[in-house]
Amino acid sequence: MLLHRRAILGLFGAGLALPVAPAAASGDARRIQREIEEATARGRPWMVPAGLTVSGRIALPDGAHLVGVRGRSRIMLAGEGPLFTAQGVQRVTLQGVVFDGGGARAG
């Protein structure tokens, strides 16, 4: 599910919380996971679109490279965290992406 900021503000009004269904986000998490793995296997970055991308937990593979539109690409956690895990990896690159814990507490 890709939601653009203007659409969110138009539907819900500025300053209101966006309701996110964890089941919907889990489907997106599987798609995003697959896309990141495919891009990484090809040695290419996964391009994070401008706007809001809502996702559940994603495991980043070794060599993953996520590139967003600086100041415009945002990935928000839906459901239980963490948003990303990266176990046993030597290198992961994250550029131009804002990460939003969806109100989850750090730690």
> DSSP secondary-structure letter at 88?
T
Give residue-wise pLDDT tens across range 33-68. Answer: 999 999 999 999 999 999 999 998 999 999 999 999
Q: What is the pLDDT of residue 106?
A: 65
**Separation CA 85–CA 89 (nearest Å):** 10
Cβ-contact 72, 51 below 8 angstroms = yes
pLDDT at 17 over 50: no
> DSSP secondary-structure letter at 78?
-
Residue type, 84: F
Question: Over the chain, what is the mean pLDDT?
Answer: 79
